[in-house]
Amino acid sequence: MLKKISILTMAVMGILSTQVYASNNPESAKNIADWRKTGTPEEQLKALVKVTPGTHHWMPEIAYRYQSFYWAAKQEKWDFAKYQIESMEKMMSRVGNARPKREPTAQKFSQAVFPVAYRAIESKQWAKVQQATSIMAGQCNACHAVNNYPYIVIPPVPTKPNSVVLGYPE
């Protein structure tokens, strides 16, 4: 039994070392077809879809923008708060474009959240920002629930982001 495990281990290590060698040796990589150059348009599209990040890739960035929006407004850094909402809006648009099955919920979120957030920034009133943030958190949670992620719960008062612009961590 031990002999079989040793042989299997050596075989796996041999395969892995070949893979590492090929990835670190440009000469051995010359014989590998590049799908960007040799693939049909259909194959290229399929490959691009495979390498396009999923929604989970953008969510931490969107959460960071949510945090930064809240704390920038609290510090009355209105331009920075607006920048966060603009960035979040662009990312939500990307989610809809890159993942068509998420597009309806991304659109619903965008329609419910961004107009309110922009009005809150324009008003420069903290109470309106708090309302916008509460709506935003509620819409995030509703979207998560509809997409079968009810355990991802966004608080109406986000934690402070790690941001040199906002002075965090203190």
- pLDDT tens by residue, the chain, 170 residues: 555 555 544 444 444 444 444 456 666 656 667 878 888 888 888 888 788 888 888 999 999 999 999 999 999 999 999 999 999 999 999 998 888 899 999 999 999 999 999 999 999 999 999 999 999 999 999 999 999 999 999 999 999 999 999 999 88
φ and ψ at residue 131, rounded to 5 degrees: -65, -45
Residue 134: exposure state from Cβ atoms within 10 A (0-12, 13-18, ≥19) = middle
* Most distant CA pair in the chain, distance: 74
Q: Which residues pair with 168 in a beta bridge?
A: 163
- Token digits for 88? 């979040």
Count, residues in the chain: 170
What does the alpha-carbon distance between residue 38 and residue 158 come to, in Å, rounded to a whole number? 48
